[in-house]
Chains A and B, each alone.
Chain A
Amino acid sequence: MFTFCTDPASLPDWQWMACYLTTGKHMSLYWSVGTVLLLLAITAPTALLFGFGGASAARAGFAPLRWFGKTYIAIVRGVPDIAFFLFFVIALDQMFEYIRHRILCPDWTEAVRQGNDFVVCAAAKLPLGNAPQWVHEVYGFATAVLTFAIVFGAFAANVLYGAMRAVPSAQLETAAAYGMNQRQTFWRILVPQMWVYALPGLSNLWMVLIKATPLLFLLGVEDIVYWARELGGSKTPRFTDYPHGDWRMWYFLALLVFYLAFTKLSEVVLDRLMARLTHGQATAAGEAQRKAA
């Protein structure tokens, strides 16, 4: 990075540190912070979407759909997320490839499962065998997002389901009295009002989501924990220009500070959002706001 970095062993401390902290490996660590933030930014709305679908399904009039929604919520919530992560990504990947295989290679005669191997035709591979590396990375990232969204979607569904039931039934009855049909009641009355009831649960979920990101490396995404472990481990002079002892503690301390700061920031933002959403609502907090004004 800096011009004086050619011979790190002879540098004074601060210059050594400056060089050390700007090695290619450290750059990867800084990049991975961006990866984690990007993942959070994409996963949160996706999980909310899954949650909305799950909650709507769980209160659907059509019984099989209702069962599906409730089973989805119950199963995913009953299993530790880590167990899910350990096999779900591979399962998801194989499922996609299998579906593509059936569509793209109808005249393929060999078995897809050959012993332990999972073999699909070359055209069905995801990403294609000759795709450039960045496509593989984007695909790996996308499956990680999808896995996170499925797991956290179940939790979001749970929260939204509760919120939908918390909207006072008088509101829905009034809507019916005004001649709205079920669909109109759902979209015009229920959905706009449920958010204030859902927000405490959703903000809690957001906090959980933040704290689940150290498990990203299980999904094949090289996240901050991966790099902290890799960089912190002691290094012998033979394989690096920057030998050092076991520094994992310092790297993990940095991670700790990162997570605490991020949590604090989220708390502040969510509190403000809550104050805005409460405005004009028929809840205790809304009442308090009205009186204070």
Chain B
Amino acid sequence: MKKLIISTAALALMAGMAMADGHSTVRLGTEGAYPPYNFLNDAGEVDGFERELGDELCARAELSCEWVTNEWDSIIPNLVSGNYDAIIAGMSITAERDEVIDFTDPYTQPDPSAYLAMSDSVDLDGGVIAAQSGTIQAGHVAQMGATLVEFATPEETVAAVKAGEADAVLADKSFLMPIAEAEAELMIVGEDVLLGGGIGMGVRESDNELRDKMSAAIQSMKDDGSLNALITKWLPDSATF
């Protein structure tokens, strides 16, 4: 019941204007389990790259925003049925997702995916590769012919490699890097894989107004370099704009 939500700085002045387009409060849906993009900090609040980015975007678009966490599996169905207004959850822009929802302009460069393994001699083409089900990485592994083993959460995919169940895990590099740094036996192996078209904020297709506002805010952050500063802070291995 304690859904972790924190209202951002109350932009009370703007409330009247926002009411007019039906977005008195914009609810941002995220997963809360994918550091450094989004995770729950010790206080149980949404934190990470997307938290800072989202708050800043809302301030620039003059919207008041609230954070909601939702399971990754049902994050899109809940958006289209109107339980929140935008997805900001490290979601890469892909053609199949784009058919169902709309994306804002990307706020990261296409983020490389990487393999994390226990040794650098693993066979990435014919071995057992773990991935979170429903991610673009899972789709990629299934297609390239390695043995795909799917887990419900990113946590379990890494645990599977440590337990020897899988040879390697394929996931966003920014997610894997802190793990590889913290744990001596794990390392990034092989070449990076480029999947998807960068990460964007997902909105309902009928919600052009919100999409345009957010895209404009992202553009303004790109222009004044504040987006690059955020990327350098949270995603040190990613390319900037």
Measured CB to CB, the residues of A under 8 A from B are 23-25, 27-28, 31-32, 35, 38, 86, 90, 93-94, 97, 114-120, 122, 125, 129-130, 133, 136-137, 140-141, 217-218, 220-222, 229-230, 233-234, 236-243, 246, 248
Choose among A31, A97, A242, A248 the residue that contacts B1 (Cβ–Cβ < 8 A).
A31
Interface string of B64-79 (1 = CB under 8 A from A): 0010111100100110
B1 touches A129 (CB 8 A): no
- Residues on A with C-beta less than 8 A from B1 are 31-32, 35, 38, 137, 140-141, 221-222
**Would you list the 5 A-B pairs with minimal beta carbon distance, nearest first?**
A24-B43, A130-B24, A233-B155, A25-B44, A236-B182
Shortest Cβ gap from A79 to chain B (Å): 18
Query: Given that A31-B2, A35-B1, A114-B206 are known contacts, is A238 also in contact with B44, CB under 8 Å in the complex?
Result: no
Q: Are A90 and B77 neighbours in the complex by a CB distance under 8 Å?
A: yes
User: Is A239 within 8 A of B80, CB to CB?
Assistant: no
Q: Which of B33, B68, B80, B183 contacts A117 (CB 8 A)?
A: B80
Asked whether B182 lies within 8 Å of A238 as measured between CB atoms, the reply is yes
CB distance from B1 to the nearest CB of A (A): 4
B40 within 8 A of A: yes
Contact residues of B between 110 and 161, Cβ < 8 Å to A:
153, 155, 158-159
The reply to whether A32 and B2 contact each other, CB–CB distance below 8 Å, is yes
In the complex, the answer to whether A239 meets B155 with C-beta atoms within 8 Å is no
Chain A neighbourhood of B41, CB < 8 A: 24-25, 239-240
Give the Cβ gap from B156 to chain A, nearest Cβ, in Å. Answer: 8
User: Which of A218, A242, A248 is B71 in contact with, Cβ under 8 Å?
Assistant: A218
Is B44 in contact with A120, judged by CB distance below 8 angstroms?
Answer: no
Q: What distance in Å separates the Cβ of A229 from its nearest Cβ neighbour in chain B?
A: 7
Bound complex: CA A93 to CA B79 (Å)? 13
Q: Is the CB of A230 within 8 A of B2?
A: no
Q: Judging by beta carbons under 8 Å apart, are A117 and B44 in contact?
A: no
Q: Which residues of B contact A31 (CB under 8 A)?
A: 1-2
**Nearest residue in A to B154 (C-beta to C-beta)?**
A233
Query: Do B42 and A24 have beta carbons less than 8 Å apart?
Result: yes
Q: Taking A220-B74, A221-B1, A236-B182 as given, write out 17 further A-B residue pairs in contact, using a Cβ cutoff of 8 Å, ordered by the A residue number.
A: A23-B44, A24-B43, A31-B2, A86-B74, A93-B81, A97-B82, A115-B205, A116-B205, A233-B153, A233-B155, A236-B181, A237-B182, A238-B178, A241-B42, A242-B42, A243-B182, A246-B162
Total number of B residues with any Cβ neighbor in A under 8 Å: 54
Minimum CB distance partner of B180 in chain A? A236
Give the CA-CA distance A248 to B32 in the complex, in Å: 17
Find the B residue at minimum CB distance from A35. Answer: B1
State whether A119 touches B82 (Cβ < 8 A). yes
Within 8 A of A (CB), among B37-51: 39-45, 47-48
* B178 interface neighbour in A120, A236, A242, Cβ under 8 Å: A236
Q: Are A239 and B39 in contact (CB under 8 A)?
A: yes
Which residues of chain B are near A234, meaning CB under 8 Å?
155, 158-159
Contact of B3 among A38, A97, A117, A140 (CB under 8 A): A140
| Chain A residues, Cβ within 8 Å of B4 | 28, 222
Residues of A contacting B68 with CB < 8 Å? 136
Task: Give every chain B residue within 8 A of A117 (Cβ-Cβ).
Answer: 80, 204-207
Once the chains are docked, how many angstroms separate the CA of A2 from the CA of B151? 37
Name the B residues within 8 Å of A129 (CB-CB). 22-25
What's the Cα separation between A113 and B71 when bound, in Å? 24
Residues A130 and B19 in contact, CB atoms below 8 Å apart: yes
Instruction: Kindly list chain B residues whose C-beta atoms are within 8 Å of the C-beta of A97.
Output: 82
The verdict on A133 contacting B205 (CB below 8 Å), with A238-B178, A239-B35, A240-B41 known, is no
Q: Which residues of A contact B5 (CB under 8 A)?
A: 133, 136
Q: Is the CB of B100 within 8 A of A133?
A: no
Contact A236:B43 (CB < 8 A) given known A116-B100, A130-B25, A137-B3: no
When the two chains form their complex, are residues B82 and A118 in contact, meaning their CB atoms are under 8 A apart?
A: yes
